[in-house]
Amino acid sequence: MRVIETIQEMRTFVSAARKQGKSIALVPTMGALHEGHLALMRCAKAQCDIVITSIFVNPTQFGPQEDLACYPRDLAGDSEKASGVGVDAIFHPTVAEMYPNRYASYVYVEEITDKLCGLSRPGHFRGVTTVVSKLFNIVQPDKAFFGQKDAQQVLVIDQMVRDLNMNVQLEIVPIVREDDGLAMSSRNRYLSTEERSAALVLSQSLSLAERLVHEGERDIAKIRAAVVSVITEQPLANLEYVEIYSYPELESASTLSKKALLALAVRFGTTRLIDNIILEAS
């Protein structure tokens, strides 16, 4: 497995693979790889000849008060994990390589970015769509793999790809959870033992919502209130948002019909966690 640090070298690597007629998968990450990331890479390897994963802690998707400086970085550990699931190359550019002096161009998606994480993290999705556009142009993958854990991100990137006519097929991989239900996240390592235990309210509240829907509940306000109640009962949990929107349009509704995204963000101390589930009226 190669670790490539420059755009030029990445282009050369991809170009050589293309000339051999090989299909190319891209798995964009910020590193600190966990089983969720590895699931993306295994899917990618099953579908394409060459798997490239980018490991780049992208500064433009962090707000000024966020955890850019302390975001976990572990290239050695990440390389071992990526290599173990058959990744062919890691793209690991510097910030200066991706955003040189006088950098000034951005890609953004309106409307579906003005709610959920877009509301609490202004500029976040502009950073995501910009860096993903750059990665797509550098790697020119046939397929790109993203995790359903970042449900809104998936919808935003899908909209960008369709609107801007990008030549890439998106593959969305289900959330990977710990045995006790906590969704895998690079930020879980920030949690104290008490917070780690308290954080189980996220998946528990989602399961409750799913059960209510299964039992016939269609009133979105009631489902939301039940979720809010579970989370606010946990003293260490600081609720940022719980929202239920039609899926994939992300529009408000009072009654569940067809699919809806139940998404939430909760802080435990300084650690912000997100989780989600697609509710489906059968």
The SS3 assignment for 266 reads strand
165: left (phi over 0), alpha (psi -120 to 50) or beta: left
The SS3 assignment for 265 reads strand
Stretch (H or E) spanning 98: helix 95-98
Size of the site for its own copies (CB under 8 A): 26
Would residue 92 show up in a list of annotated catalytic residues for this protein? Answer: no
State yes or no: 267 annotated in a binding site.
no
State yes or no: 186 annotated in a binding site.
yes
Stretch (H or E) spanning 211: helix 200-214
Q: Note whether 128 binds its own copies by CB under 8 A.
A: no
Q: Which of 37, 92, 124, 214 is catalytic?
A: 37
Site for its own copies in 147-176 (CB under 8 A): 159-160, 163-167
Q: Note whether 137 binds its own copies by CB under 8 A.
A: yes
Integer Cα distance of 33 and 149 in angstroms: 14
Among 3, 86, 108, 178, binds its own copies (CB under 8 A): 108
Q: Note whether 54 binds its own copies by CB under 8 A.
A: no
Which residue, 14 or 50, has its beta carbon nearer to its own copies?
14
Task: Residue 195: name the closest of 160, 252, 155, 235 by CA.
Answer: 235
Q: Of the ranges 32-40, 62-70, 130-138, 191-199, which one interacts with its own copies (CB under 8 A)?
A: 130-138
Among 42, 124, 134, 143, binds its own copies (CB under 8 A): 134
Place of tokens 């991809």: 14
User: Which residues are catalytically annotated?
Assistant: 37
Query: Binding-site residues for beta-alanine, please?
Result: 61
